[in-house]
Amino acid sequence: MTNRTQTKSNYNYARAAGAAYLGVILFGGFAEFFVRMQLRVPGDIAQTINNIRSSEFLFRMGLLGDLSMLFVDVLLALFLFKLFKDVNWELSLLALVLSLLRVPLLAANLSNHYEVLQILNSVDYLGLFDTGQINAMAMLALEKHQKGYLIAQMLFGTWCFTVGILVYASNFIPRVFGILMVIAGFGYLIDLVVRILYPDLSSAIPDILLTESAIAEISLCLWLLFMGDRIHIRALAEANSKNTR
């Protein structure tokens, strides 16, 4: 009876983790891909700042999206710890710590996103600088935000690697998702090292590497959300099989 209750609990944590992971993907994807990447024009500071000025509400929504992502990221960390702690307590704790270290780092980095708005809307000192200088300061804050994400990628890549090992070692999630998450972790870490040591070669990083990382995360998220009940069903089948022997 205890095993069935524990497995039912794991099923609940799997679904909760899948929902939280989906929130991380949606909120974070909205802020990065549908806000910042849509407003930013590579190599054109003036156009980028003009886009932000003309779509300031959207830019503010991006900030809110990132804050929402961080909140559900904490929930994801807790649900995954509950789900995997009986698989390997030490690795589950490591994954939890990596997440809880990443969240405040990303939260502090959001000050750079908000600083763009402060620079563009501060009436106290705008008259002291010309338009080009104001645009350059705002763009510098936006660049600092982007680099802050890059630094946090070290923790995120290690987290993906750790979660991948836990998934592979578990007996209730298909091992292919663990393999994909381990590869994703390596992909994020390779991208980080190349961008830091050889920034001129960063454009040479194969898109397939980061695409695989995204596929791994989305696949695991959807499996936990929609197939997490298989944890419960499989355990019940195993228990019934043992009882009939």
Task: Find where tokens 């596929």 sit.
Answer: 215
String of DSSP letters for 27-88: HHHHHIIIIIHHH--TT-HHHHHHHHHHTHHHHHHHHHHHHHHHHHHHHHHHHHHHHHTTT-
- pLDDT at residue number 90: 95
User: Which residue stretches of the chain have pLDDT < 50?
Assistant: 1-8, 233, 235-245
- pLDDT at residue number 213: 85
pLDDT tens profile 188-228: 898 888 888 877 766 666 566 678 788 999 999 999 998 87
- Cα–Cα dist 9/180, whole Å: 25
- pLDDT at residue number 129: 76
- pLDDT at residue number 239: 38
- Cα–Cα dist 91/77, whole Å: 12
User: Phi and psi of 42, rounded to 5°?
Assistant: -55, 130
- pLDDT at residue number 236: 38
